[in-house]
Structure 1
Amino acid sequence: MKKASIKDVALKAEVSTALVSYVMNNKHINRISKETAERVRQAAKELNYRPNKIAQSLKSNKTNTIALLVADISNPFASQIARIIEDETSKRGYAVLIGSSDENPEKLQQLIEVFLNRQVDGFIIIPVINSENSIKELIKTKIPVVLIDRYFNDVQVPVITTNNYGISYQSIEYLIKTGKKNIGILVYDVELAHLKERIKGYRRALEDRGLPFRDENIKFINEKNIQAEVEKAMDELLKSNNNSIDAIFFTTNKLAIAGLKNIVKRDIKIPQEIAILTFDESEAFEVFNPPLTYIKQPLQEISKESVEILMQIIENKNLNHKPRVFNSKLMIRQST
């Protein structure tokens, strides 16, 4: 049986071959009536027509695929970002190839090379510590790159991020207004700008409210040994009656999960004995009682903007490298 061509679909649907191409590739779809688009799709279905993607890529010099590289796919932040980006790119006729670097810069470099060989049209990346050089080398290939959440001040590419400093300041200020005066903070011991901004917001809020910034109240956690490091940090924060920690700010959801396990084990009552504030959501929080006060990041906006910016670059539109900053929101619940 002869394989159906785009001309066959156009004849059956009584439209031009160009219009068939637009419909099948989800292009200019807002200019085509729903009835016409449906007639084209129905004709293609009846004829069992499939566009020749290899021929299309040779003609357009595009593969209609993008690479999404996340730092840790097991993190709910990354998995939700991936789901939204996949939905958004699909609407534009693109497929997403997803890789997780597992917070390993060497693995990130390997994934970049793999996807370059797959000739993707662009990269959306949540980078890891010590990956600046990999990102810079990728930029030299002239392939479009957008960074999400994390960024490097000396890497000149579009960045989609949130108001890490401002929301941390606001959240600590809220804790102080509720009467908390000795607030601990747990943060990864890494040189990442977005985490530094969270620390700065924490520190400035204390200073502006006339409370001392105590070095012993900030605990840096080795991300390769989270549970043991958090156990040690919680021991140091809570063992001394003189320290009298009355609130803890976990700067990531993974740190919060590890910290909450420790608090439960110690049978510490929340919020009566200690208030808890965490960055980001997690399904694990849903089974915790009382419900946790947390900082909600605008994942929909971040994801959609990253796709929009990448598509503009792919289409050769000039863009500046000024970061796009979206506002997170403090969700006040019963743990504070």
Structure 2
Amino acid sequence: MEKKVSITDIARKVGVSVALVSYVMNGREKEKRVGKETVKKIRRAAEELNYQPNQIARSLRLGSTKTIGLVVADIANPFFGQFARIVEDEAFKAGYTVVFGSSDEDDIKSAFVLDTLLNRQVDGLIVIPSEGTVKQINGLVRKKKPFVLFDRYFKEVNCNHIILDNYKGTNIATRYLVEKGHRKIALVAYKTSLVHMTERIRGYTEALKEAGIDHTKYLAEIKFSHSYKDFENSFRAFFNKHSDIEALICANNGLSINSLYYIRQNCIRIPGDIDFIGFDGGEPFDLYSTPLSFVRQPIEEMGREVVKLLTDLMNGSTKVSHIMLDPELVIREIRNC
């Protein structure tokens, strides 16, 4: 077995002290006023010897692993995939590596992922909490581990979070469809107690109430499942019962994509048979043959803000921030070119 190269080997090759090599390999050469030529020799020797630093020992010495844990709720949802990419880019700029995990909207798996990340000694966490994980989040508060909740939060836990104004998102979408003259407006959402979804349902129902329209008849609350077949069965039953639907709003990106797939498979025309407003947009919307309207989340800003907030916490900030950002209704009409 090949012997692991140590800083002692580098020191012996260059002819300097072990302490001097340690300063350079830990980025402290300016602080310790190590000469530029000596730094070059040490780094060249480290490369020639194929030196690999002991990250565990380095982390123990510095009290930091320079890693962030990110727990997403459903990695199959394109919105969360895009968010993860932004977080990774922003974390890299701040000098951190991101370790990912997906709870798959399951509280048991969420506990496993969180424990795994904590055991890896991540410096902080960004968590998109699943239903039934309030005790896990309270546990992070008790441990005093720096963390930020994203997309969802629990009203009973006072902690840092960054969310969308979810009420406003569906409210402006519903109002727009009412102004177009629609009365039979459906919303497809997930059946959950999580606040982001209940607020989107509330935004829809309040807009219909204000317009004097029945706010319960065309509301479809579907149980979360990774299986399109499960979605299709629930959605078909809803559509068969309410074949007079004039417009459809989807409460998140995954529901939007599944709904569009069902609509295409069943030769339902957008527009023509129904109007459609999705949530989050993204590439699947651009690939559809008809321009599709959607509620846009400021995901780039959200990603930047969540990493900035977490790095502030990891650097010692004790301020608790509740940040809510505004959605935008993006209307895309058919144009004759």
Which string of whole-angstrom CA distances, capped at 9 and with x for unpartnered residues, describes residues 134-175 of structure 1? 111122111111100011111221001111111221111111
What is the aligned partner in structure 2 of residue 333 from structure 1? 332
Name the CA shift for 1:96/1:9 in 2 (closer, same or farther; >3 Å).
same
Contact 2:74–2:80 at 8 Å: present in 1 too? yes
Name the CA shift for 1:206/1:19 in 2 (closer, same or farther; >3 Å).
farther
Of the candidates 205, 208, 229, which is equivalent to residue 207 of structure 2? 205
Runs of 5+ consecutive residues of structure 1 not aligned to the other structure: 22-36
SS in 1 for 2:140: helix
Question: Partners in 1 of 2:114 and 2:266 — Cα distance?
Answer: 44
SS in 1 for 2:68: strand
Q: Does 1:260 align with 2:260?
A: yes
Q: Residue 142 of structure 2 aligns to which amino acid in structure 1?
A: K
SS in 2 for 1:223: coil
Tell me the number of residue pairs that the alignment of Structure 1 and Structure 2 aligns. Answer: 314
Q: Residue 169 of structure 1 aligns to which amino acid in structure 2?
A: N
Q: How does 1:317-328 map to 2 (within 5 A)?
A: 317-320=317-320, 322-328=321-327
Question: Partners in 2 of 1:51 and 1:188 — Cα distance?
Answer: 47
Question: Partners in 2 of 1:239 and 1:255 — Cα distance?
Answer: 19
Q: How does 1:178-193 map to 2 (within 5 A)?
A: 178-193=180-195
Question: Partners in 2 of 1:76 and 1:215 — Cα distance?
Answer: 29
SS in 2 for 1:215: coil
What is the aligned partner in structure 1 of residue 144 from structure 2? 142
RMSD: 3.0
Name the CA shift for 1:50/1:266 in 2 (closer, same or farther; >3 Å).
closer
SS in 2 for 1:245: coil
Question: Partners in 2 of 1:279 and 1:20 — Cα distance?
Answer: 55
Q: How does 1:77-92 map to 2 (within 5 A)?
A: 77-92=79-94
Q: How does 1:94-243 map to 2 (within 5 A)?
A: 94-208=96-210, 210-224=211-225, 225-240=227-242
**TM-score with structure 2 length normalisation?**
0.83
Q: 1:294: Cα distance to partner?
A: 0.9
Q: Residue 95 of structure 1 aligns to which amino acid in structure 2?
A: T
What is the aligned partner in structure 2 of residue 32 from structure 1? none
- Higher alpha-carbon deviation: 183-192 or 1-10: 1-10
Question: Partners in 1 of 2:19 and 2:82 — Cα distance?
Answer: 37
SS in 2 for 1:17: coil
What is the aligned partner in structure 2 of residue 27 from structure 1? none
Name the CA shift for 1:304/1:154 in 2 (closer, same or farther; >3 Å).
same
Q: Residue 264 of structure 1 aligns to which amino acid in structure 2?
A: R
Question: Partners in 2 of 1:19 and 1:315 — Cα distance?
Answer: 23
Question: Partners in 1 of 2:327 and 2:194 — Cα distance?
Answer: 18
Question: Partners in 2 of 1:257 and 1:174 — Cα distance?
Answer: 21
Runs of 5+ consecutive residues of structure 2 not aligned to the other structure: 12-17
Name the CA shift for 1:17/1:100 in 2 (closer, same or farther; >3 Å).
same
Q: Residue 332 of structure 1 aligns to which amino acid in structure 2?
A: I
Question: Partners in 1 of 2:157 and 2:32 — Cα distance?
Answer: 41
Question: Partners in 2 of 1:255 and 1:290 — Cα distance?
Answer: 18
What is the aligned partner in structure 2 of residue 18 from structure 1? 31
Q: Residue 314 of structure 2 aligns to which amino acid in structure 1?
A: I
What is the aligned partner in structure 2 of residue 305 from structure 1? 305
Of the candidates 10, 23, 26, which is equivalent to residue 3 of structure 1? 10
Greater Rg over alpha carbons, structure = 2
Question: Partners in 2 of 1:302 and 1:111 — Cα distance?
Answer: 23
Question: Partners in 2 of 1:69 and 1:166 — Cα distance?
Answer: 26
Which string of whole-angstrom CA distances, capped at 9 and with x for unpartnered residues, describes residues 179-205 of structure 1? 212100100011110111111111111
Which string of whole-angstrom CA distances, capped at 9 and with x for unpartnered residues, describes residues 297-334 of structure 1? 111111111111111111111212x4211112111113
Question: Partners in 1 of 2:158 and 2:22 — Cα distance?
Answer: 45
Q: 1:211: Cα distance to partner?
A: 3.0
Contact 1:249–1:277 at 8 Å: present in 2 too? yes
SS in 2 for 1:324: strand
Contact 1:7–1:17 at 8 Å: present in 2 too? no
SS in 2 for 1:277: strand
Question: Partners in 1 of 2:215 and 2:166 — Cα distance?
Answer: 21
Q: Residue 280 of structure 1 aligns to which amino acid in structure 2?
A: D
